[in-house]
Chain A
Amino acid sequence: MFGDYSLGDLGSIFVMQGFAGLILFSVYVLMALGLAIIFGQMGVINMAHGEFMILGAYVTWMTSNLFQTYMPGLFGGYFFLAMILAFLASGALGMVVEWVLIRHLYKRPLDTLLATWGLSLMLQQAYRSVFGAREVGVELPQWMLGSLHVTDSIEVPINGVFVMCLTVLITVGVAYVLYMSRWGRQVRAVVQNRIMAGAVGINTEKVDRYTFGLGCGIAGVAGSAFTMIGSTGPTSGQLYIVDTFLVVVFGGAASLIGTIASAFSISQTQSTLEFFMSGSMAKVLTLLAVVGILMLRPQGLFALKVRK
């Protein structure tokens, strides 16, 4: 199968395939970061996570339309405002959901799964009623189109590079908030021992609500980034939810580094395999490998040692 390519071409193909994997990796990381907070830290199985992401995507789409109609001069910069709006919208919805639904279910993790699945159905139908069943795509500003020519045969798309930079920024931000800030300490304290955290004066209910909101907000940003590389439909979120959960579980639920490492290995495996076989078989093999490894090592790649 390599007979038609010269050695240099082959190298370029691998580099570009690797880069396609890196874009997939960025999307996985962005989606999995929010879930790692919600599922990994709080233990809530949020099946509606994909729908929070799609909300961010729709917010981005609306912002781009708004700029196009009223402020065409500023169109080049709409994306930064859109991301902030996406974060706020998804985060706010997340906090409402936590208050109405999730806070009653902290002791019954399996039931959060059913309830949030119901929520995801309702959100999907709401998107379908409001935005229509067809997929929408945002128009990218001029500076994001095109690609960078690294060498003669290797070129990388600019929007992909942008998504990757964004991912790095957000990951560093989340890591800082969780591990350096006072509020992050409170979050980790509540997760490790809710009763003791309450006893030392932490308002656990408030911490829960903001943690859930943060996770959902990051999902919104992920959705915003997602619009740059794909189109958005009412059910797009569902396509990614299982992959995202596998990324989080595979990485070891409570570990941020684990999440990143597993997102990297899963996305690279998949995009490399896609070169050799059909997309569906690549996906099957990747998922099988993940499930197989999880059967051998149920705690995931990077397990946090916590006394239960």
Chain B
Amino acid sequence: MIINSRFFNRSELMGFVALAAVLFVILPLTLDVFRLNLVAKYLTYAFVALGLVLCWGYGGILSLGQGVFFGLGGYCMAMFLKLEASSVENTKIQSTPGIPDFMDWNQITSLPLFWQPFHSLTFTILAIVLVPGLFALIIGTAMFKRRVGGTYFAIITQAVAAILTILIVGQQGYTGGINGMTDLRTLKGWDIRPDHAKIILYFVEVVLLFACIGIAQFIRLTKLGRILVAMREQEDRVRFSGYSVANFKIFAFCMAAVFAAIGGAMFALNVGFMSPSFVGIVPSIEMVIYTAVGGRMSIFGAIWGAILVNFAKTSLSESFPQLWLFGLGALFIAVVLAFPNGLSGLWGDYVQPRIDRLFASRKSKAGWKDNSVADGAPAE
């Protein structure tokens, strides 16, 4: 228990330092701006994966609708950027200047009411967190209060993802339809497209990611995190012990939604567009698989999973587009059948014990023994 009173135990500290070193130092020094921007894109999924660790890995709630929250966050950000890009000077060739180009194409002559508040950056930032958070709260309350869980919850979140995609694609005039919102240019007059802006955005994103890691780690270590795990293992016992299981589930689901939304907003900033192809069922399930490959129980594992699977996707689909789907499919099956705890599970089983032994042998020379294998490689 002494180990747990620290914010990070030793293996987690190593994971933290390694991730920080790679993201803050090694990648920016070795990659050109184009590749760094790709990493920034991968990292937006790491936010989602982080949320899924809390919600699925710890809470046991599999949501197949994280694309919804990723999309809501992304669209909030994109709406602000789009409005700024559609100033009256920029759009004077349109029949109605001052509204986004896709509205003009769809014969809409004035800005719809729900677009108006997105002129304000403060409102947009609040909306990025609050809109998906509230949406998750509504879904979560409706489902968990009625004790719907497990597979039913997964299918219903999937249906929600399908509904939102059809809605976005169908309402072209208000949302940009299947093409999404493209041609995003400036943030408060600051051009987000040139190289130096991409680098700055990358670092902003990494800092945000570490902030989210901190929050997730904090939740994990408090009593809240323990209740989540207990709930996953024996829901009835937790309920009989007097805890409101539904409220804890709603909390985990909302946290996951907010993390996903932050990722979506960073996606719109880094990549410069947002489209319904990041909202629907397929991307939502892919987000789950990043988490599963990295390790659903491990905060750092999931982030590595998001980076590595996307890296593999980019490099494989560049050179062997046919092989990629086979590879991805096989990866799904292998993760489920052979190593359910993902990469972090493999690390914990094979690599970590060796490192621990190394430390243990040094320490035993110094005359201080501890049972480091037990605390160094926790099952989670």
Interface residues in chain A, defined as those with a beta carbon under 8 Å from any beta carbon in chain B: 43, 45, 101, 104-105, 108-111, 113-115, 117-122, 124-126, 128-129, 238, 242, 245-246, 249, 278, 280-281, 283-284, 287-288, 290-291, 294-295, 298
A110 near B328 with CB under 8 A, answer no
Complex Cα gap A294–B328 (Å): 32
**Given A104-B337, A114-B288, A249-B155, CB of A125 within 8 Å of CB of B329:** yes
Complex Cα gap A105–B337 (Å): 8
Nearest CB in chain B: distance from A297 CB, A: 9
**Given A284-B163, A295-B146, CB of A117 within 8 Å of CB of B332:** yes
A121 near B152 with CB under 8 A, answer no
Q: What residue of chain A has the Cβ atom nearest to residue B56's Cβ?
A: A110
**Given A291-B163, A295-B143, A295-B146, CB of A115 within 8 Å of CB of B170:** no
Q: What residue of chain B has the Cβ atom nearest to residue A124's Cβ?
A: B325
Contact with A along B119-149 (1 / 0, CB 8 A): 0000000000000000000000011001110
Counting chain B CB atoms within 10 Å of each CB, which of A104, A108, A129, A298 scores highest? A298
By a CB distance below 8 angstroms, the chain B residues around A242 are 155, 158-159, 162, 281
A280 near B170 with CB under 8 A, answer yes
Nearest CB in chain B: distance from A294 CB, A: 6
By a CB distance below 8 angstroms, the chain B residues around A298 are 143, 146-148, 152
A122 near B281 with CB under 8 A, answer no
By a CB distance below 8 angstroms, the chain B residues around A111 are 336, 340
Complex Cα gap A101–B332 (Å): 12
By a CB distance below 8 angstroms, the chain A residues around B146 are 295, 298
Complex Cα gap A101–B328 (Å): 16
Asked if B316 is at the interface of the complex by the 8 Å CB criterion, the answer is: no
Nearest CB in chain B: distance from A23 CB, A: 21
Nearest CB in chain A: distance from B295 CB, A: 14
Nearest CB in chain A: distance from B249 CB, A: 14
A117 near B285 with CB under 8 A, answer yes
- CB neighbors of A among B289-310 (8 A): 289, 292
Complex Cα gap A238–B325 (Å): 14
**Given A249-B152, A287-B159, A295-B142, CB of A110 within 8 Å of CB of B329:** no
Nearest CB in chain B: distance from A268 CB, A: 19
By a CB distance below 8 angstroms, the chain B residues around A294 are 148, 152, 156
Complex Cα gap A284–B162 (Å): 9
Asked if B346 is at the interface of the complex by the 8 Å CB criterion, the answer is: no
B330 near A122 with CB under 8 A, answer yes
Asked if B181 is at the interface of the complex by the 8 Å CB criterion, the answer is: no
Q: Which of A114, A124, A126 contacts B289 (CB 8 A)?
A: A114
Contact with A along B153-171 (1 / 0, CB 8 A): 0111011101100110110
A291 near B151 with CB under 8 A, answer no
Q: Which of A109, A120, A124 contacts B150 (CB 8 A)?
A: A109
By a CB distance below 8 angstroms, the chain B residues around A129 are 322
Interface residues in chain B, defined as those with a beta carbon under 8 Å from any beta carbon in chain A: 62, 64, 142-143, 146-148, 150-152, 154-156, 158-160, 162-163, 166-167, 169-170, 281-282, 285, 288-289, 292, 322, 325-326, 328-333, 335-337, 340
Complex Cα gap A108–B160 (Å): 23
Instruction: Give me 15 other A-B pairs in contact (C-beta within 8 A), A115-B336, A242-B158 excluded.
Output: A110-B151, A111-B340, A121-B332, A122-B330, A128-B322, A278-B170, A281-B170, A284-B167, A284-B170, A287-B163, A290-B159, A291-B163, A294-B148, A295-B142, A295-B156
B329 near A291 with CB under 8 A, answer no
Interface of A is mostly: helix
Complex Cα gap A119–B337 (Å): 12
By a CB distance below 8 angstroms, the chain A residues around B336 are 105, 108, 111, 114-115, 118
By a CB distance below 8 angstroms, the chain A residues around B337 are 101, 104-105, 115
Complex Cα gap A290–B159 (Å): 9
B326 near A122 with CB under 8 A, answer yes
By a CB distance below 8 angstroms, the chain A residues around B151 are 43, 45, 109-110, 113
Complex Cα gap A280–B178 (Å): 13
**Given A45-B154, A110-B62, A111-B336, CB of A121 within 8 Å of CB of B325:** yes
Top 7 A-B pairs, shortest CB-CB distance: A118-B332, A280-B170, A122-B329, A121-B329, A125-B325, A118-B329, A295-B142
By a CB distance below 8 angstroms, the chain A residues around B330 are 118, 122
Complex Cα gap A126–B148 (Å): 36
By a CB distance below 8 angstroms, the chain B residues around A246 are 155, 159
Complex Cα gap A122–B159 (Å): 23
- 5 A-B contacts, Cβ less than 8 Å apart? A110-B151, A113-B154, A115-B333, A122-B325, A129-B322
Nearest CB in chain A: distance from B47 CB, A: 21
Nearest CB in chain B: distance from A10 CB, A: 26
Nearest CB in chain B: distance from A236 CB, A: 14
Complex Cα gap A246–B154 (Å): 11
Q: What residue of chain A has the Cβ atom nearest to residue B158's Cβ?
A: A242
Complex Cα gap A284–B163 (Å): 5
Q: What residue of chain A has the Cβ atom nearest to residue B148's Cβ?
A: A298
Complex Cα gap A280–B276 (Å): 14
Nearest CB in chain A: distance from B269 CB, A: 29
Nearest CB in chain B: distance from A143 CB, A: 37
Complex Cα gap A164–B147 (Å): 37
